[in-house]
Amino acid sequence: DQARVPDYLSGLNPEQREAVETLDGPVLVLAGAGTGKTRVLTTRIAHILATGRAFPSQILAVTFTNKAAREMKERIGLLVGGAVEGMPWLGTFHSIGVKILRRHAEMVGLRSDFTILDTDDVIRLIKQLIQAEGIDDKRWPAKQFAAMIDGWKNKGLDPSQIPEGDARAFANGKGRELYAAYQNRLKSLNACDFGDLLLHPIRMFRANPDILKDYHQRFKYILVDEYQDTNTAQYMWLRLLAQRSGRMPISPLEGEMPGRAEGGIPSNAGASAPPSVGSADISPSRGEINGLVNICCVGDDDQSIYGWRGAEVDNILRFEKDFPGAKVIKLERNYRSTEHILGAAGHLIAHNEGRLGKTLFTDRVNPDDEKVVVHAAWDSEEEARAVGEEIERLQRGDADGKKHALNDMAILVRASFQMREFEDRFVTLGLNYRVIGGPRFYERLEIRDAMAYFRLVCQPADDLAFERIVNTPKRGLGDTTIRALHDYARARDIPMLAAASDLIETDEIKPKARKALFDVIQYFRRWSELLETTPHIELAEQILEESGYTDMWKNDKSAEAPGRLENLKELIRSMEAFESMRGFLEHVSLVMDAEQNADMDAVSIMTLHSAKGLEFETVFLPGWEEGLFPHQRALDEGGRSGLEEERRLAYVGITRAKRRCHIWFVSNRRIHGLWQSTMPSRFLDELPITHVEVAESEQSYGGYGRGGYGQSRFDKADPFANSYETPGWKRAQANKSDATRDNWGTRSGHAVERIGYGESGPRGKTIDGE
C-alpha cells in the first residue's frame, strides 16, 4: 500500500531522502559543498513536524549563524505549508545557550538578568585585573590574555583544568590565578562572556542531573548543521543533551563519577566538588548505549575553517564511535554549481592531505557555462574598480543579455581590511552593498555609549557600562574619583553605582564631583523606575536627552558629529522591533548579521569565514596573493595544517558560486602604509586549467576588465605580454615548459615574501560564527 509521498520529500534524491526519513537513531550526513546537507536538515524538521512526531518546541536545531536559523525557519514553514509556531530551540549554539542559562542562572551564581559582555568589555575588565595584580599590562597585554581565556573556554576548561604550560605562559605563571579572578569578577558583575553561554550550562547540567533530565525529555530530536566546525565545548554540550539514556559514560571524568542513577545521570555529581566543566580530554566513549539518540549532524570535513578558533574536525570523524549505531550517509550530487566551478574547487582541495575524500558530481553541464576567471590588477584600488565594473556589466546585462540582480553577487575577502576599498568604491559608484557578518552599526562609539546607558538602567550592577558613561559626557569626574569608587566597590563587593551612592555621603570625594555623582545617581534611579512603566523607546530618548549625551554631540564641532547624531536616531528606531529594553539589549548582544536594509538589492561583502553555507550566482574572490591568501599568519603559526585550513577556505569560497566565479590578485598592496609587491597565491597554481581561464587585461587603469575574456594563457606564448608586470606568477608561468593541461603545476623557485598583515579572519568576534 503506497502512501502518498508528501511534496517536500518528492524533490529529494534517494540518499537525501534516507537522511530525512531515518528519524530513529543517530545519523551523520557527510558530504561536500552544495550537496543539500542544509536542505536535508530543513526537510527533516519539516518531516518530523508533518508526521506529528514532535512539537516544534521539542526540536533542538543548531545552525552556524542567526541568519541561517531565520532562513531555516522560513523554509520549514514553506515546506509544511503554513507558518511554524514556535521553534524556540532553533538557533546558534550561543543563542540556545543563553536561553538555557537565563532559565537556570541562579544555579551558576548569576541572576537571570545577567549581562553578556562583548570582546571590548572583556578586554577592559581583564586589563583592570592585570593592573590590580601589579602586572605590567604593556608586557602582558589584556588582549592576549582574553584570547587565551577564549581558547581555554573553547576547549571547555575551567581555571583548575588548564594545562600547566598554558598557565605559565602568561605573566610569569599567573595565568591560572588571573583566569580564576576573571571568573569571579564576572560573577560579581552579574555578567558572563560568550564562552560562558555554553560552559555555564555544561556545569549546570553536570551538577543538576534532574535539570538535564528535563531537557532530555524535552528534546526529542537534535539536529546540527556545519558539524565540522564545532569546538570541544560545543561538542560537550551536545553530548550532554544527546545522552538521552543508557549507561554510556560520556567522558572519562563522568565515567568515574559515583552513584550513576537510572537514566545514566550521576545522582550526586558535583555534590562534593564544585561543579566543573570536566576534562577536555574526551576519549571515545566506553560502554554501550541503551536507547538510540535521535541526533542528526551534517558537515563536510573539507569546509572546516574554524580550527584557529578551536573547532575540532575530529568531532566529525568520531561520530560513529560517539553514537553507536549511527547511520552515515554520503551525498554526492551537487545541486549548486556548474561543472567548472566544481572542477576548480575539487582540484584545489585535492592538494590537501588527510581528507576523508568525497566524490562530487553535477548534472549542471552546459556548454555556455563560464570557466572560473582569474584576473590580475595593479593594486587593490584597481582591483576594487575592476570588480565594480564587472558588477555593473552584469547588472546592465552586457555579459549575456541578462540583467543580474546585485543580491545575486558577493565579494568574499580573506581579511576584513580588504573591505574598505570595495566599500569606498561602491559608495563612489552609487552601487548598493551590504557588509555581512561583522560589527558595524552596533560597534560604533556613540552606539556603544548609548547602549551602556541602557545596560546600566536595566542592570545596575553592570560596572563596565557604568565606567564607560559615568564621565561621558564630561561631568568633571576624574580618574581619582573613579578609582575611589572602584576601590570602595571592590572592597565591599558591591556595584560601582551603589558605591557612588555611599560615597557621596562622605568626604572622600571632592564637592564638585560629589554633586556630579549625585546627579548621575538620581537620574539612574529615576530611569530604572520608569523602566517598568514607560514605553522603552520613549525612555531611551529620555535617557539620551537627560544625560546630556545627545547634547554632547550637538555641541561637538567635528565632522563626524552629525553622523553620530543620525546613528543615535537610528538606534532608537531599531528598538521599535522589540517589546522591551531588555529584549533589545539581548538582541544586540546576540546580533551577528548586519541586517541593514534587508530589502534592497545590494552586493554582499563579507569574509570567507562568514560565507559558510551561503550561495550566490556570482562570487568575486579578491586578494589571492601570497601572504594574504594563504594568510601569512596561518602559515607562520599553523605550518602545514595552517596552509590546509587556508586551502579549505579557498574551497569554501569557490563553492559559494552557482554560475560565475571571478578570482583576483594584485601586484602591489599597501600594508601598514607601505607598498609591497606581492606574489600571486599558490592556490592559483592549484586550479585546473580545464576549468579556469585568465582574463585578458587592457592596459589602461580605468578600462581594466572590459572587453570580454581572453583565451586561456596556455593558448598564448605569454598571456601577459600585453599587460603590465605581474611579478612571480607571470615569470613563473611563462617559464613553465612542463605545465600539464589539467594542472598549472607548482611554481618553481617560489619564494614567499614575508608580509605582516594586521587583520585576518572574520571581522571582530561575533557571537555565532564571526
Distance, in Å, from the CA atom of 27 to the CA atom of 328, rounded to the nearest integer, reads 6
Q: Which of residues 115-174 bind ligand ATP (CB under 6 A)?
A: none
Of 121, 158, 196, 300, the one binding ligand ATP by CB under 6 A: 300
Whether 604 and 434 have beta carbons less than 8 Å apart is answered as: yes
Dihedral of alpha carbons 66, 68, 70, 76, sign: negative
Nearer to ligand ATP, 239 or 647 (CB): 647
Whether residue 364 lies in the annotated active site:
no
618 makes contact with ligand ATP (CB under 6 A): no
Whether residue 586 lies in the annotated active site:
no
Q: Which does 39 bind (CB under 5 to 8 A by kind): Mg ion, ligand ATP, none?
A: ligand ATP
Whether 612 and 303 have beta carbons less than 8 Å apart is answered as: yes
Among the listed residues 407, 227, 421, 248, the one whose alpha carbon sits nearest the alpha carbon of residue 328: 227
Of 39, 414, 468, 682, the one binding ligand ATP by CB under 6 A: 39
Whether residue 260 lies in the annotated active site:
no
Question: Catalytic: which of 239, 244, 414, 656?
Answer: 656
Q: Which does 33 bind (CB under 5 to 8 A by kind): Mg ion, ligand ATP, none?
A: ligand ATP
728 makes contact with Mg ion (CB under 5 A): no
Of 175, 613, 630, 705, the one binding ligand ATP by CB under 6 A: 613
362 makes contact with ligand ATP (CB under 6 A): no
Nearer to ligand ATP, 40 or 178 (CB): 40
Considering only 534-542, 605-613, 639-647, 660-668, which stretch makes contact with Mg ion by CB under 5 A? 605-613
Residue 534 annotated in ligand binding: no
Measured torsion, CA atoms of residues 493, 497, 503, 509, in degrees rounded to the nearest 10: 120
Contacts of 53 (CB under 8 A, 6+ apart): 23, 220, 221
Distance, in Å, from the CA atom of 327 to the CA atom of 24, rounded to the nearest integer, reads 10
Whether 766 and 438 have beta carbons less than 8 Å apart is answered as: yes
613 makes contact with Mg ion (CB under 5 A): yes
Question: Catalytic: which of 15, 16, 17, 38?
Answer: 38
Q: Cell 611554481 appears where? A: 747
Among the listed residues 608, 634, 623, 637, the one whose alpha carbon sits nearest the alpha carbon of residue 679: 623
Q: How far is CA 336 from the centre of its chain?
A: 23
Residue 37 annotated in ligand binding: yes
Q: How far is the CB of 334 from Mg ion (least distance, A)?
A: 12
Judged on CB neighbours under 10 Å (0-12, 13-18, 19+), 1 is exposed
Of 5, 7, 11, 143, the one binding ligand ATP by CB under 6 A: 11
Whether 212 and 275 have beta carbons less than 8 Å apart is answered as: no
Query: Residues 570-609 vs ligand ATP: string with x where CB under 6 A?
Result: ----------------------------------------
Considering only 8-16, 175-183, 578-586, 590-598, which stretch makes contact with ligand ATP by CB under 6 A? 8-16
Nearer to Mg ion, 154 or 303 (CB): 303
364 makes contact with ligand ATP (CB under 6 A): no
Whether residue 44 lies in the annotated active site:
no
Question: Angle of helix 479-492 relative to helix 496-503, nearest 10 degrees?
Answer: 110
Whether 384 and 422 have beta carbons less than 8 Å apart is answered as: yes
Among the listed residues 413, 468, 321, 421, the one whose alpha carbon sits nearest the alpha carbon of residue 609: 413
34 makes contact with ligand ATP (CB under 6 A): yes
769 makes contact with ligand ATP (CB under 6 A): no
Judged on CB neighbours under 10 Å (0-12, 13-18, 19+), 259 is exposed
Whether residue 226 lies in the annotated active site:
yes
- CA end-to-end span of the chain, whole Å? 50
Residues forming the annotated binding site for ATP? Answer: 31-38
Q: Which residues are catalytic?
A: 37-38, 225-226, 303, 656
Q: Which residues bind Mg ion (CB under 5 A)?
A: 37-38, 613
Residues forming the annotated binding site? Answer: 31-38
Q: Which residues bind ligand ATP (CB under 6 A)?
A: 11-13, 16, 31, 33-39, 300, 303, 335-336, 613, 615
